[in-house]
Structure formats: structure tokens, C-alpha cells
Structure 1
């Protein structure tokens, strides 16, 4: 048995929370994301890549729940950590940056205009076959 504090166990909890979110059960997802993030910060540290990923995932759950006031600062914190630990061009850093931009632009007066400017750069940055970026809104 790995135990409740084992990194694999914490990763599994994060994955379960993500599954709850994907199934539309934010009532289960958000508390599990919050508890998992707190444990990862305690066990792994705030700058561990798994902790930063969980921070991004919790921000995404908040955004899905319509709580951008909690999502955006959490995305900003995750992005700062990812840039510091992983570098600005790491795939996780790029994902968090995009998630922050999406959460921020969703409140902008003309989000569709933003997408018209960003989508051409999306292909250069990520390449093709990465899915439809416009569905992130």
C-alpha cells in the first residue's frame, strides 16, 4: 500500500477530481481538488510540478463553476510557479498560460476578437492536431 501521502496516491486523487469535473459533478470535484492541492503543497511543496498541475486543475474547476474571481488568481499563481520551475516554453507552462488567457478573455468585451488574434499563433506554438482551441471558451 502506498499511503495517503504518497505522490501516486495524490496524483490519483487529482485524476479522480478531474473525472468528477468531466462528468459535470463540480460538487465533488472542487472539494477533492482543494484537499488534494493542500496535501500536495504539504507533502511535495508549492513548486513541485504535480502541485502546479493541481493548482491549474482547481482553477479550471472554479472557472467551470463560473467562479472566475477564484480561478484567475489561482491560474496566475500556477503560471508564475510553472515559469519559475519549468520555464516559459514547457508544455505545462503553455497550458496554464492559455487557461489563464481563456479565463481572462471570457470576461472581455469582445472575446471573439481576441480569438481571431490568438488562433494563428496557437498553431505556430502548439502545432496542428491539438484540438480546437476555440472550444476552450
Structure 2
């Protein structure tokens, strides 16, 4: 990173990748403040250099939102994730995988704040879009089903949540195998919710 800064400049794309990689290393080590500082630097530089809706800028905004989420800084995480989602919808389309990932991330932010209706709305949209684009048994669709089941459970909709999780577990058995960690997790959740 330091050599790239000296040789190429602080706002060169290769330098920004190096800074982002170091921020990721800090994030993986739980050094949130260091990761946040570098994440902000990368995001602001990319906004200036490439514009707010450039894929690299959106990626850095999403990474910074993740850092905020991991620190429980919900308003900051939400603000960034909403910007990423809107820009992704406009630039890539509502059914693009990056847009759907942003919706999942925003739903997670809402869930962590007990904003169940807002989380549910996004999770239903993601699940239905993935069913249409990828198929009902695609692993990403099944993850969406599991997320929605947990949201319904948290809303007190126990029967609906149990049925959805049972369907998810059965599909994961077909698609992933009985021994896959996601299948086992779904089966364990069904057993827990059934008792």
C-alpha cells in the first residue's frame, strides 16, 4: 500500500485496492476502527474519482456499511446501505445479484433493530426474485427462505416460520445433501421450533 501511494498516488485505482485490502484485513481481525478509517478513505476517494454509482464506489460503500454493522452503528450502516441499494437498482436493475445482496444486507440491518416489517418486505422481495431468476431450489433462494423464516419467527408467526423452514430444510436435503452444514442447520432449527 505504501509503495503504491508513493509510486502511483493515493487516488490511483491500484492504491485504492491495496487500501481496501488492508481495511478488509483489519475487518477480519476485528480491528473495526482501523478498518473504518481506511474504508471511509477508500469510499470518499472513489466517490470523487469515479462517481457515487460506479461499481467500485458501491463496493466500498457496502464494505463500510458492513464495518458499521459489525460495530452496531445502525444509522450509519443503514444510510450507506440504502444509498448502495438505490444506486444498484438504478444502475444494475432490481433483480441483479448485487442489488439483491444489498437488499439482504439492509434487511439484516432492520432485523438487528427489531424493524421486522421492513426486514420482511425486503426478504420477501429477495426470495421471490431469486425464485424467478435462479429457481426455487437454488442455494441462494433457500438462504432467502431461511432468513424470512427467522424474521417470521421473531414476529411471532411461529406456524408460518416452521412451515417455511421445513420446506427450506427439505430442499436443502435434495440440493445440498443430508450432511451439508446448511441442511444440518435448517434441520436443527426445525427440531428446535417443533419442540
> Common fold, TM-score beyond 0.5?
yes
Separation in structure 1 between the aligned mates of residue 158 and residue 128 of structure 2, nearest angstrom: 26
Tell me what 2:70 maps to.
Answer: 22
Moved more, 77-86 or 60-69: 77-86
Asked if residue 54 in structure 1 is aligned to residue 84 in structure 2, the reply is: no
Q: Residues 11-69 of structure 1, C-alpha deviation per residue, up to 9 Å, x if partnerless?
A: 23222212211221112111111111001001111110110111111111101111012
Helix, strand or coil: the match of 2:72?
coil
Gaps of 5+ in 1: none
RMSD (Å), alpha carbons: 2.8
TM-score relative to the length of structure 1: 0.78
TM-score relative to the length of structure 2: 0.57
User: Any conservation in 1 of the 2:78–2:109 contact (CA below 8 Å)?
Assistant: yes
**Greater Rg by CA:** 2
For 2:90, which of 36, 42, 51 is the aligned residue?
A: 42
User: Any conservation in 2 of the 1:60–1:71 contact (CA below 8 Å)?
Assistant: yes
User: Any conservation in 2 of the 1:11–1:50 contact (CA below 8 Å)?
Assistant: no
Separation in structure 2 between the aligned mates of residue 25 and residue 122 of structure 1, nearest angstrom: 35
- 1:59-98 map, 5 Å: 59-98=107-146
For 1:5, which of 26, 30, 53 is the aligned residue?
A: 53
Which has the larger share of helix? 2
User: Any conservation in 1 of the 2:68–2:76 contact (CA below 8 Å)?
Assistant: yes
Higher relative contact order (CA 8 A, sep 6+): 1
